[in-house]
Structure 1
Amino acid sequence: MLKIKMLLVYIFLSVNISTVIADDNVLTVWEDKGKSLAIVNQIAEFEKNNNCIVKIFEKDAEKQLDLIMTNNGQTPDVFILISDRLIDAYSNKIVREIDYSQEDRDLYETSALNALSVANKVYAAPRSIESLVIYYNKDLLEYPYETLEEYAEYSEKIKSKEKYGLLGNFQKFYYANSFINAYGGYTFGKYKNKNINIFDIGLNNEGTILGLKELKDFSQRTMPKEALSKKADSVIDLMFTKGKAAAVINGPIALKKYSKSGINFGIAPLPKLKNGKKLNGYYGVKGYAISSKSRKHQLAEKFIRFINSPENAQNRYFTNAELPPIKTLLEQSFISCDELANTIISQINEASQMPNVHKMRIVWKTMDESLEKILSISNPNYKTVLNEAVSKIKQCD
């Protein structure tokens, strides 16, 4: 409650003080929903050093670019850009290049910086890296299982008690992609220069079919119907926090929620499938970007350098459990000893970067629709459903 009051007081003061500061020195920043407290405490120093006011507005990170593109709401100076939407932002001229020297670039993990770059130009400062992990209930499982089959067998044993082994929102492509990748399916291929080839789509190949067959078999054996519905996210979270599910697959976003519930949980890497390969999904990068419409781009760039400094990124890590891809921080003992951080890092080493191309927008939508068909029909024709999906993806620009 005290933290909420501090935040409200800060925003109130910002609004009132800004009336005596020139508009050119009022910076508007969009932070992720529920995450602003981690940066509010640092802003006073930046305001003092730059004779400015920073106004913070919380908006869902996944919706920020769409809000800017559709002009719903005031355009910010700084906002959060997710790596798979970079090309949308770049091609629509929504983001401004950040003038990073080689010294600036060397601060970050190369893969994170590349995820937010086009033609070797950086368009967002890497803020956090994310991947899927296992959260398991230590009161139900002493140790997490190594294979998906073990979770399935455990689930069948405890089904009579109305409990489940492992749950995940598998009708969403973000989760199901872990099965696809493990069997050699892929979203887009790559040219020899490692650039993404949007004309090479592997979502209807044999590997994709094998991965989805194992996913469907696991779902039919172990998953309650409500966990494969449109309300799956909230249903799965509730089952886990109420002790009805021994384990769930989720990202770092769930950490606060599970911590507040009081459940005794641990974190582990994703399990192996029948082919001996681990579930292997995407990893994503969130970054601070500058709006091309901002008339205060120099101040905005100063702010990004300030708020994403190792010291302030460390504060975000402790406040929001977000893992910053800053080399010096990843080497610190408080991260190397952190269960979530270690698991995310190990997953990212095996995961593939979320493609930052236009077509990902239609990929998410089309594959979600295809998964709903596959998981709701008793004996789906995988090839037909997936051929239709790939055809739709190819037709859309």
Structure 2
Amino acid sequence: MKKILFTVMAFATLFGAVQAQGITVWTHFGDAELEWLQNEAAAFEGAFGVPVSLVKVELGEIKQKLLLSAPEGEAADLIVPIPHDQIGEMASGGVLADMTGFATADYLADLNKQAQLAFTYNGKLFGLPMYVEGPALIVNTDLVPEAPATFEDMIAIAQGLTNDDTYGFLYDIGNFYFSYIWINSNGGYVFGRDASGSLVASDLGLANEGTVAGAELMKKFRFDYGLIPTGVDYGVADGLFIDGKLGMIYNGPWAIPNYRDAGVNVKVMPVPPTADGQYFNGFMGVQGILLNQFSANSVDAANFAKWITRPAAQVTLANLTGKIPSSNKAAQEVSSDPIIAGFAAALANAVPMPNIPEMGNVWGPMGDALTQILDNQESDVPAILNGAAAQVEGN
């Protein structure tokens, strides 16, 4: 506790002494996550005498609510948590405080570098990451007792399981979020980065050779390997896995509770590399804490943000909910949990979804492009992707 007290107070000295004015937090957390946040708020108040008021706001309402009410002084001091890909519009709208000043060398040394990148916008840290999330290969160990060591093994096992009643490997193939793994791993990308690491909206990689190669691989899943038939979407694949009729699925940690409730025994792992050493890394998301630029209690609020992102708090959250910590120390401490460890391994080299507002123009055109590409074996992949890229650029 002494070490934690020193750390929190060290951040406070950047802005002045801690003042017990009380802070307000908007959160979309529920159930175990909300209970964790309530306990952390009570502990923070007990340690520093700063009351924390938690207000439930639905995730889909937070961004617009903050953009409209923050300049009027009517928004919460903190948002706990928010997906990193939503920060661009809020940062450019001037309602997020730059939290770079709270990121000491020790804090940054312990922070997952991809999580740091996710909350960096125009070279500034606009939030403190809490946990990371993203898809991995989830294996039904009753159907697949020996996990595939290579991509080729995965395909062979999946083909061997696929018959009238059982499927070997399925996922929401028409969803660009999930299918980005094949694009990224072949050299495709959404937006490039400049020398400083900032995303460049004008550098679009959605129709380059790597993206074409990734899309051609998706066609192979359907037309060459015979694994993912027309009509398979998230609900179909997820439902078959829950029913014990699917050997492997590419899905995220949010699905694990339903699989456990259904009695499915699972192993979580990265999509295995090819025999010649090609690795597969897809998108990742990061959830973190935002500080209102117009907060009248920014010191107390920033200290509470720091409090609930400390390693000990992340360990508790991980043990309660299976969240994958953004703190390297916390991640190591919970690495004995095979589910957390499996997702952490799958996300070790994943790519944060772009956090610039222009990303909003990508999802629709690329989703439509994948539908067209997967519609028939003779689809003209380069032409379809060029059309999608032109649509993104024109929006």
The TM-score with structure 2 as length reference comes to 0.83
Instruction: Summarize the alignment of residues 1-397 of structure 1 with structure 2, pairs less than 5 Å apart.
Output: 25=22, 27-32=24-29, 34=31, 35-48=33-46, 49-57=48-56, 59-60=58-59, 64-69=62-67, 75-79=75-79, 80-98=81-99, 99-100=101-102, 101-220=104-223, 221-227=226-232, 232-272=233-273, 276-332=277-333, 334-335=334-335, 337-396=336-395
Matches of 1:68 and 1:111 in 2, distance apart? 26
Letter in 2 for 1:261: A
Q: Deviations over 1:83-116 (max 9, x none)?
A: 2233222101121122314344344233322321
- Structure 1 contact 47–54 (Cα < 8 Å) conserved: no
2:236 match: secondary structure: helix
Q: Quick one: structure 1 residues 168 and 275, their matched pair in 2 at CA, closer, same or farther if it must change by over 3 Å? A: farther
Distance 1:76 1:371 in 2: 40
Structure 1 alignment gaps of length 5 or more: 1-23
CA 158–109 in structure 1, closer or farther in 2 if over 3 Å, else same: closer
For residues 61-82 of structure 1, what are the alpha-carbon distances to aligned partners after superposition, in whole Å with 9 as ceiling and x for unaligned? x7632554477xx843322232
Task: Deviation per CA, 1:236-283: give whole Å up to 9, x if none.
Answer: 222111101111111222222222222111111113358752322122
**How many residues are matched?**
366
In the TM superposition, what is the alpha-carbon distance from 1:123 to its structure 2 partner? 1.5
Check conservation: 1:38, 1:320, Cα contact below 8 A.
no
8 Å CA contact 1:81, 1:124 repeated in 2? no
CA distance in 1, matches of 2:154, 2:367: 24
AA of the residue aligned to 2:230: K
Give 1:134 deviation, angstroms.
1.0
| Deviation string, structure 1 residues 115-161 (Cα, Å, up to 9, x no partner) | 21235432211101123211111110112223444444444433334
Rounded to whole Å, the distance in 2 between the matches of 1:128 and 1:26 is 22
Which stretch shifts more, 272-281 or 155-164?
A: 272-281
User: Taking structure 1 as the reference length, what is the TM-score of the superposition?
Assistant: 0.83
1:171 counterpart letter in structure 2: G
Is contact 1:255-1:321 (8 Å) kept? no
Distance 2:276 2:110 in 1: 38
- Aligned-CA RMSD value: 2.7
The one-letter amino acid of 1:203's match is: L
Q: Deviations over 1:141-194 (max 9, x none)?
A: 112223444444444433334111111111111111111112121212233343
Change over 3 Å in CA distance of 1:175–1:66 after alignment to 2: farther
1:13 match: none
Q: State, as a whole percentage, how many aligned pairs show the same letter.
A: 22
Change in CA separation of 1:147 and 1:66 when aligned onto 2, cut-off 3 Å: farther
Distance 2:176 2:218 in 1: 12
In structure 1, the partner of 2:10 is: none
C-alpha distance in 1 between matches for 2:214 and 2:150: 15
Indicate how the Cα distance of structure 1 residues 298 and 31 shifts in structure 2: closer, same or farther if over 3 A, else same: farther
Give, in whole Å, the separation in 2 of the partners of 1:274 and 1:367: 29
Corresponding position of 1:15: none
Decide whether aligned partners of structure 1 residues 196 and 55 sit closer, same or farther in structure 2, where only a CA change above 3 A counts.
Answer: closer
State which drifts further: 371-380 or 309-318. 371-380
Say whether the 8 Å CA contact 2:291–2:298 is kept in structure 1.
yes
Contact 1:36 1:58 in 2 (8 A): no
Cα distance, 1:213–1:329 mapped onto 2, change above 3 Å: same
